Amino acid sequence: MSLTLRATLLIGFAAVCAQAQTRTLGLYAGSARGLNAESRLVMKAELKRLLEPAGIEIVWKDSAGRRSGEDFELIAVSSFEGSCSPEGPAQIPASASLADTSISDGHVLPFFRVDCARLIQMLGRHIGSSVLGRALARVIAHEIYHIVARTADHQETGVAKAIFSAQDLTDSRFEFDSWSILLMRPSSVAGVSKAFGAASR
């Protein structure tokens, strides 16, 4: 089976499963200090757009108000460091990462943090509210990829790659590559994708 045909079949299979196997992810978000309403709305819309192809529906929850009995198929807990306002202070080391996910004994944990001050330092203080919201969503989507796919590995292109440029964060379109989308699907879907890979060898 040619690589082109295999890729076409995988993408088609992923599209079918996107409708049949949508899962909810409860995102317990900490306070994003200084983030305005417009940035927040754009962030939520962009994250929804990025994760829809993987069959993931985000349910935003306040991490301080978690109640017993809440049940989601997937869970992630986020925290935001520094001010999420371009007008806030952003004097931080240039080597600081935009975000990271907790790992223990080689296992990816459902906790991640976003460094708002580092992000704003990278994008510049004159960044618009909508562009900031879009950039935040892409950073968050990257960390959710690690949590849902249960991998610390990165891809060469798209939202799952290791390093983002300012253009990646601010362009009108930026997506997950098709393999990253498959990795975020339920294990039954990932199993079929591996079977396709084995059949082509």
Assigned domain for 58 exists: yes
- Is residue 39 a part of any domain in this protein? yes
pLDDT of residue 91: 61
pLDDT in tens, 39-66: 999 999 999 999 999 999 999 998 776 6
* Spatial CB neighbours of 9, under 8 Å, sequence gap ≥ 6: 196
Our CA dihedral for 70, 149, 102, 67, rounded to 10 degrees, sits at 0
CB crowding 52-67: b at 16 or more within 10 Å, else e: ebbbbebeebeeeeee
- pLDDT, tens digit, for every residue of 103-132? 999 999 999 999 998 999 899 888 999 999
Using CA atoms, how far apart are residues 136 and 120, in angstroms rounded to an integer? 10
Q: Is 150 inside a domain boundary?
A: yes
What's the number of domains the chain is made of? 1
Does residue 86 belong to any structural domain of this protein? no
Q: Give every residue of the chain whose pLDDT is below 70, as ranges.
A: 1-20, 65-69, 88-95, 187-201
90, part of any domain: no
**CATH classification of the domain holding 15:** 3.40.390
195 falls within a domain: no
Parent domain of 64: 3-81+97-189
DSSP string spanning 14-30?
A: HHHHHHH--EEEEEEE-
